[in-house]
Amino acid sequence: MNRQLLPAALLLAASAPLFTAPASLFAASNPAPHQLLATPETQAHIFGDRTEPLQLEVDFVAQMNVPTQGHLSLRWQSKSRWWSKAVMGDFQQITMQNGEKIYTAENRPAPIRIVELTRLLHFAHAPEELTVKKVKERVENGVALACLQLEWQRVKGESHEVCVNPDAREIASDQWQSTPDEQRRELFSDYVDFRGYRFPRKLQLEVNGSRVLLATVESLKAAPLDESLLVPPDGAIERRQCADMVRAKPLKTPQPAYPRSDSQSRLMGDTSVAMTILADGSVTGIRLIGAATHSMDDATLATLKTWKFKPAMCNSQPIVSDVRVIVSFRLHE
């Protein structure tokens, strides 16, 4: 039999690591389950225009090659005016938004754990609506939970299980299948009151049952935003957000070669990569976020450097944008 070597690239739009608070998470397909989710989501929505300016300080430990400590500082006025600084090991990133312009300055491409930390802090929000399909009762650590099976309305095949403590009106966890070989679970606990809101002090991410990120909110308080923080630092990359933004489109995307040693050993896998597309359509800031074998990962990273795009557009002007690419290496008889 002849075996076909099929590395196939799937291009996914992805947001930059921003603190923009998107639309409501849940669709009201069933009023009772919807209410189970809507109330905790509203209680945790501290990143909105209705909240007062705030300051958030977060310590975290990320599992890279070894456990690495980090800290994130956030100054928030509204979803279009904020500043953040993330430090982890020798990595440093400053990000800010002022109006529709977003600036990022970093000494190297952001590790995936920094992106995942942002998602954790926005645990009650998602860019697309979800529909409640089923509700199951469960007891975890002596606490009765209502676990809701949810489906994306606009992304077929992706489902989440969100567990809620209905008595405390708190979201306890969110679990979903990221890739065929990767199960992700976010956990939230130790909620505190903040000006009428409820926000967790402990947030963690598990991948295939192993904890890869643990964040602890050390300080959450009302504080004005210092206007001087919104001055872009030297070398910052400018991004823009607009209502009619057109996503980047691939123009030249050669597929990576299937490594000979892997094909002979009948090894298969998925390499996930995040990268930035500049306003001229070239690629930069390529970083590995999900690994297969070393040779598959190397082949993918080398090939993606040669990709070209028609850049994303904002009001007919080319802009910087971010995407994720998943390259699947499969053997077919």
Domain ranges of the chain: 4-13+242-332, 26-230
- The CATH superfamily assigned to 26-230 is Lipoprotein localisation LolA/LolB/LppX (2.50.20.10)
Q: Which of 105-109, 128-132, 253-257, 278-282 has the lowest mean pLDDT?
A: 128-132
Task: Give one word for 285, left, alpha or beta, with left for phi > 0 and alpha for psi -120 to 50.
Answer: left
Per the model's pLDDT, the better-predicted residue between 323 and 28 turns out to be 323
| pLDDT, position 29 | 43
The Cα 179–Cα 182 span in angstroms is 5
The Cα 16–Cα 23 span in angstroms is 16
Output DSSP code: residue 18.
-
Task: Look up residue 122 and give its amino acid.
Answer: H
Percent over 70 (pLDDT), the chain: 84
Whether the per-residue pLDDT at 245 is higher than 90: the answer is no
Six token digits for residue 44: 């945790």
* Tens of pLDDT, residues 18-35: 554 433 344 444 446 667
Whole-model pTM: value is 0.79
The Cα 318–Cα 239 span in angstroms is 10
Whether the per-residue pLDDT at 289 is higher than 70: the answer is yes
Q: Mention every residue, 6+ apart, whose C-beta is less than 8 A from residue 298.
A: none
| pLDDT, position 44 | 85
Q: Return the SS3 of 297.
A: helix
Whether the per-residue pLDDT at 308 is higher than 60: the answer is yes
* Res. 14 pLDDT band, cuts 50 70 90: low
Q: Does domain 4-13+242-332 have CATH number 3.40.50.300?
A: no
* Res. 155 pLDDT band, cuts 50 70 90: low
| pLDDT, position 1 | 30
